[in-house]
């Protein structure tokens, strides 16, 4: 007969207790999480029937990303505010399901702009939180000022934004995915148009169409109403709105640290470190003192 004392407890009761705690302490987050997860599962089933396996992968990726905030909280022993966690979940859903699968990036011209702004905000929150955790760690022998925390959070967000643009450019060059969206312009200026071969930019205005000539002599009029800018303006716009999102959060984080966490608005976006419970010390009275100490007295 097996020794029941050495049998590990079933993980099911632990998961049920975690769900109960989440429903009690983070009801709004739990409701949003369950609704979004159910929606993604329905989309996943539809994509399987349509045999669109690229979208199936995006659905699976979305379900995995939904679990990242909870994973980060457990690994770093931090607590994400409800508002910030809901924004993260909605951002993932808007980027992967609405943006990619439902083609909101094409249907709504400013969808990508809004998400890049939100991305700058969230990345600044991540950078700020990591530094704030180190700043509160007693083992670390330095203390950072609120201004320094805000500047580093801003730089962290901008660095992530630049790396993402590198990724988009790489995907466009290798796989022609057009992640850096094109823009139709009616005026161009380039030193390559200088007939003397110098450094003076030649300018062409009032462009209404472009004809592409291929190596076999085939000519194709694009019919876009202008010249096709290959991703440059889209990249600069993405970096600019990332700048706005990062700058906005940096200001919020600055006043949060300066007020020592008393700013109620900033608290909605700043993760906090879970404080370890302090061991209770028992005061020993004279009556409870050992007899050896009593005899010494």
- Report how far residue 100's alpha carbon sits from residue 55's, in angstroms, rounded to the nearest whole number: 8
Q: Are residues 165 and 199 in the same domain?
A: no
- Report how far residue 154's alpha carbon sits from residue 53's, in angstroms, rounded to the nearest whole number: 37
Domain assignment present for 134:
yes
Q: Are residues 78 and 147 in the same domain?
A: yes
Asked whether residue 297 carries a pLDDT value surpassing 50, the answer given is no
Q: How many domains does the chain have?
A: 2
Q: Are residues 198 and 156 in the same domain?
A: no
Domain assignment present for 296:
no
- Report how far residue 157's alpha carbon sits from residue 21's, in angstroms, rounded to the nearest whole number: 32
Q: Are residues 74 and 211 in the same domain?
A: no
User: Could you count the other beta carbons within 10 Å of the beta carbon of residue 214?
Assistant: 8
Domain assignment present for 123:
yes
For the segment 27-51, what is each residue's pLDDT rounded down to a tens digit?
899 999 999 999 999 999 999 999 9
Domain assignment present for 164:
yes
Q: Are residues 28 and 140 in the same domain?
A: yes
Q: Are residues 219 and 236 in the same domain?
A: no
For the segment 175-226, what is each residue's pLDDT rounded down to a tens digit?
998 889 899 999 999 999 998 989 999 999 999 999 999 999 999 999 999 9
Q: Are residues 155 and 221 in the same domain?
A: no
Domain assignment present for 199:
yes
- Report how far residue 31's alpha carbon sits from residue 130's, in angstroms, rounded to the nearest whole number: 27
Domain assignment present for 159:
yes
Domain assignment present for 38:
yes
Asked whether residue 15 carries a pLDDT value surpassing 80, the answer given is no
59: exposed, middle or buried (Cβ count in 10 Å: 0-12, 13-18, 19+): buried
pTM assigned to the model: 0.80
Q: Are residues 107 and 236 in the same domain?
A: yes
For the segment 64-103, what is each residue's pLDDT rounded down to a tens digit?
999 999 998 888 788 899 999 999 999 999 999 999 999 9
Query: Which pLDDT belongs to residue 143?
Result: 74
Query: Which pLDDT belongs to residue 139?
Result: 66
Q: Are residues 259 and 170 in the same domain?
A: yes
- Report how far residue 158's alpha carbon sits from residue 88's, in angstroms, rounded to the nearest whole number: 18
Taking the CA atoms of residue 73, residue 76, residue 77 and residue 82 in that order, the dihedral angle to the nearest 10 degrees is -30
Q: Are residues 138 and 159 in the same domain?
A: yes
Q: Are residues 60 and 101 in the same domain?
A: yes
Q: Are residues 198 and 248 in the same domain?
A: no
Find the domain containing 212 and state its range: 183-229
The full 3-state SS of the chain, as one line of letters, equals CCCHHHCCCCHHHHHHHHHHHHHHHCHHHHHHHHHHHHHHHHHHHHHHHCCCHHHHHHHHHHHHHHCHHHHHHHHHCEECCHHHHHHHHHHHHHHHHHHHHCCHHHHCCCHHHHHHHHHHHHHHHHHHHHHHHHHHCCCCCCCCCHHHHHHHHHHHHHHHHHHHHHHHHHHHHHHCCCCCCCEEECCEEEHHHCCCCCCCCEEECCCCCCEEECCCCCEEECCCCCEEECCHHHHHHHHHHHHHHHHHHHHHHHHHHHCCCCCHHHHCCCCEECCCCCCCCCCCCCCCCCHHHHHHC
- Report how far residue 230's alpha carbon sits from residue 207's, in angstroms, rounded to the nearest whole number: 16
Domain assignment present for 282:
no
Place of tokens 């966490």: 261
């Amino acid at each position: 007969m097996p020794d029941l004392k050495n049998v590990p407890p079933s993980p099911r009761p632990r998961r049920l207790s975690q769900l109960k705690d989440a429903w009690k302490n983070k009801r709004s987050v739990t409701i949003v999480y369950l609704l979004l997860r159910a929606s993604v599962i329905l989309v996943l089933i539809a994509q399987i029937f349509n045999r669109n396996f690229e979208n199936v992968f995006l659905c699976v990726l979305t379900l995995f990303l939904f679990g990242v905030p909870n994973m980060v909280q457990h690994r770093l022993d931090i607590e994400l505010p409800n508002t910030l966690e809901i924004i993260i979940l909605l951002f993932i859903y808007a980027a992967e399901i609405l943006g990619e699968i439902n083609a909101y990036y094409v249907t709504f011209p400013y969808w990508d702009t809004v998400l890049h702004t939100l991305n700058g905000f969230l990345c600044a929150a991540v950078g700020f939180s990591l530094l704030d955790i180190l700043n509160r760690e007693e083992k670390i022998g330095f203390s950072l000022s609120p201004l320094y925390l805000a500047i580093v959070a801003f730089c962290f967000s901008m660095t992530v934004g630049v790396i993402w643009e590198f990724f988009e450019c790489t995907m466009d060059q290798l796989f022609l995915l057009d992640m850096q969206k094109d823009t139709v312009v009616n005026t161009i200026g380039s030193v390559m148009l200088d007939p003397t071969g110098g450094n003076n930019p030649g300018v062409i205005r009032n462009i209404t169409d472009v004809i592409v000539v291929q190596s076999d002599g085939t000519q194709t009029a694009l019919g876009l109403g202008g010249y096709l800018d290959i991703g440059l303006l889209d990249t600069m716009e993405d970096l600019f709105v990332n700048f706005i999102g990062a700058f906005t959060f940096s200001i919020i984080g600055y006043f949060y640290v300066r007020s020592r966490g008393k700013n109620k608005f900033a608290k909605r976006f700043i993760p906090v470190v879970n404080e370890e419970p302090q061991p209770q010390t028992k005061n020993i009275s004279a009556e409870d003192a050992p007899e050896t100490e009593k005899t010494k007295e």
